[in-house]
Amino acid sequence: MTNLHLRPESVTMRFFRTVACGAVLITGLAACDTEVTNPGPVQDQFLSDRNAATAMVNGAGRALSSGINWIGYTGAAVAREIHPAGSTGSFGITNRWQNGELAVDDGDLNTHWEQAQRARWQAEEALRRLEAAGPPPTGSLQTPAAYLNALQLAYVYAGFANRLLGENMCEAVIDGGPIVPSATYLTRAESLFTKAIAVTGGTAATMTTQSTAAYGGRASVRLYLGKNSDAATDAGKVSTAFAFNMSYFNIGDDDQRNRIAWSIGNTPYRAHTQWSTWYNDYKIATSDPRVPITTTTLLGDAAIECCGRVPFLPEAKHTTSASPIRLTSGREMRLVEAEVKLRSNDVDGAFAAINLARSNANAAQLAVPATADEAWRLLKRERGIELWLEARRLGDMRRWKAAATPGALDPLELPGASSHLQVQDLCFPVPRSERQTNPNIPG
């Protein structure tokens, strides 16, 4: 395969030498229909043909789904969205992750970095090629509308890939460059979502869906970046019922399965459980439909370091390995608006927004709390419920800690005897593989 102008010194970039190999036989573009068949190596010049746009963008979507798979599962264990229940290999949770540790010297974290970086790079590479090719002339195999649909979706995928990195990585590295602050990814995401919104001329229904997803993505990163007013404005453009998902597929290919669901499919894995999580306590107390958990008489598939064999109470949000994972939703946007209002001490307004989300989810309405501290506690709980198992909790916990916001988290999601977390690292480090192969990272 012709070299794709990569930096060979970085393991992250060497990993991308074959990223396009699985992308070019996909036909037809749907918002997240990104199942990939691998035809083998493809010459570089064919990927610069605008007629390959749909295939390249679908390949970027598959890369994003893989990055979410790895970051979302391990991050859920450390944030105690799930509790370990046995396996430490294949689809399990290692002893270090069980204890809440995400360390630079942990070789098991190399894959998380590589998959998430692959998602970013592949979407951005698709954009470089699409922008260079430009819209097709009249009479071409690809219509101008199809090209613009693909271009906008590539911006959307690139934005969400950068958000995944920005919310979950301790620091940033771009294409073999030096280590820079992790907010670099969020700034890139904001720009990419802005470019997605600016694309016009494609199929109306497709453009409306993708533009709305871009507004949702941009609202989320602007909240993280402290651009509160802009975040609320973007959130207001997304209806409460809207959802934009990442697809997964049960086709016997581990790379395309929903990793969280597959690891509790009973056969062959019972690797995690909701036992000893606040989500299970909340579900028992409220029956909130957003936190479905299955009661069984089974135990996890092996003894774990803290507790031996533990009860197997699997989550039922992702019920099969083909279950989608949301990238953005209108209910999340109501919580963005609520957080912005809390930051300006508008508790009544915040809970009006929270209750709009709860109403859409068929959850009971919340009374307006008497104190700001309680309001923040409930807002943090609501985001935990709404964004459960979507690769978002670790980033929320990290940004709230950095800002010293009021409102306590539940003891079951913090280090201590009840959670069985010994420490809690709230972001993934630049791993050993990148540090050893990137000459721009000293020592």
- The pLDDT of residue 96: 96
In order of start, what are the domains of the chain with their CATH numbers?
A: 11-250+323-419+427-437 (1.25.40.390)
- The pLDDT of residue 140: 73
- The answer to whether 382 and 365 have CB atoms below 8 angstroms apart is no
Q: Minimal CA–CA distance to 382: which of 359, 416, 404?
A: 359
- CA angle, corner 161, sides to 158 and 165, nearest 5? 140
Q: How far apart are CA 242 and CA 246, in angstroms?
A: 14
Q: How far apart are CA 321 and CA 268, in angstroms?
A: 13
Q: What single-letter amino acid sits at 235?
A: A
- The pLDDT of residue 314: 98
SS3 113: helix
On the CB side of 284, CA atoms within 13 Å amount to: 10
Q: What single-letter amino acid sits at 48?
A: S
How long is the chain?
A: 443
Instruction: Please count the other Cβ atoms lying within 10 Å of the Cβ belonging to residue 309.
Output: 14
Structure-token pair, residue 213: 């997803």
Virtual torsion, Cα 225, 226, 229, 230, nearest 10 deg: -10
SS3 309: coil
- The answer to whether 260 and 389 have CB atoms below 8 angstroms apart is yes
Q: What is the 3-state secondary structure (H, E, C) of 321-360?
A: CCCCEEEEEHHHHHHHHHHHHHHCCCHHHHHHHHHHHHHH
Phi, psi of 273 (to 5 degrees): -155, 165
Provide the residue-wise pLDDT of the chain in tens; the chain has 443 residues.
333 233 333 433 343 333 333 333 233 333 445 555 555 554 454 455 666 778 899 999 999 999 999 999 999 999 999 999 998 877 889 999 999 999 999 999 999 999 999 999 999 999 999 999 898 887 677 789 999 999 999 999 999 999 999 999 999 999 999 999 999 999 999 999 999 999 999 999 999 999 999 999 999 999 999 999 999 999 999 999 999 999 999 887 777 899 999 999 988 899 999 999 999 999 999 999 999 999 999 999 999 999 999 999 999 999 999 999 999 999 999 999 999 999 999 999 999 999 999 999 999 999 999 999 999 999 999 999 999 999 999 999 999 999 999 999 999 999 999 999 999 999 999 999 999 999 999 87
Q: How far apart are CA 335 and CA 339, in angstroms?
A: 6
Greatest CA separation for the chain: 68
Report which DSSP code applies to 394: H
- The pLDDT of residue 27: 31
Quick one: 341 exposed, middle or buried, by C-beta within 10 A (0-12, 13-18, 19+)? buried
